[in-house]
Amino acid sequence: SQQGEEDPQALSIQEGENATMNCSYKTSINNLQWYRQNSGRGLVHLILIRSNEREKHSGRLRVTLDTSKKSSSLLITASRAADTASYFCATDDSGGGADGLTFGKGTHLIIQP
């Protein structure tokens, strides 16, 4: 079952612009992670935010978490062509469900040069 849902499904912006992707989830979580996947390759971990955190930064990445709304956002600032990839949120279910880390279907981001 899909816990997280990313929005939008696809996003195309100009190089240098900021890109914002959103993730909504359904159940209580321990933490939420964002991963990137280049076409046909393995996923790469970007950032983890715990349920008691509201915002986290890593380089050009900024992640927010609103547990009351069960949502998270990933902001990539000053986008580059190399940021073109699919971005997935993944949740760690605090209910002890046996779902491993549950991924959404992803946002496909295209950075136009």
Partner 1 sequence: DSGVTQTPKHLITATGQRVTLRCSPRSGDLSVYWYQQSLDQGLQFLIQYYNGEERAKGNILERFSAQQFPDLHSELNLSSLELGDSALYFCASSPGALGANVLTFGAGSRLTVL
Which residues are at the interface with partner 1 (CB under 8 A)? 1-2, 30-31, 33, 35, 40-45, 48, 50, 88, 90, 92, 98-106
- Minimum distance between the CB of residue 15 and partner 1, rounded to whole angstroms? 27
Whichever of 79 and 102 has its CB closer to partner 1, that residue is: 102
Whichever of 79 and 104 has its CB closer to partner 1, that residue is: 104
**Concatenated DSSP letters of 24-85:** E-SS-EEEEEEEEE-TTS-EEEEEEEETT-SEEEETTEEEEEETTTTEEEEEE-S--GGG-E
Whichever of 16 and 105 has its CB closer to partner 1, that residue is: 105
* Alpha-carbon Rg for the chain in angstroms: 13
Q: What type of residue sits at position 43?
A: L
Whichever of 71 and 91 has its CB closer to partner 1, that residue is: 91
- Minimum distance between the CB of residue 26 and partner 1, rounded to whole angstroms? 15
Which residues is 55 bridged to in the sheet? 64
- Minimum distance between the CB of residue 44 and partner 1, rounded to whole angstroms? 7
Which residues is 108 bridged to in the sheet? 10, 86
- Minimum distance between the CB of residue 66 and partner 1, rounded to whole angstroms? 19
Could you give the CA distance from residue 18 to residue 80 in angstroms, rounded to a whole number?
Answer: 10
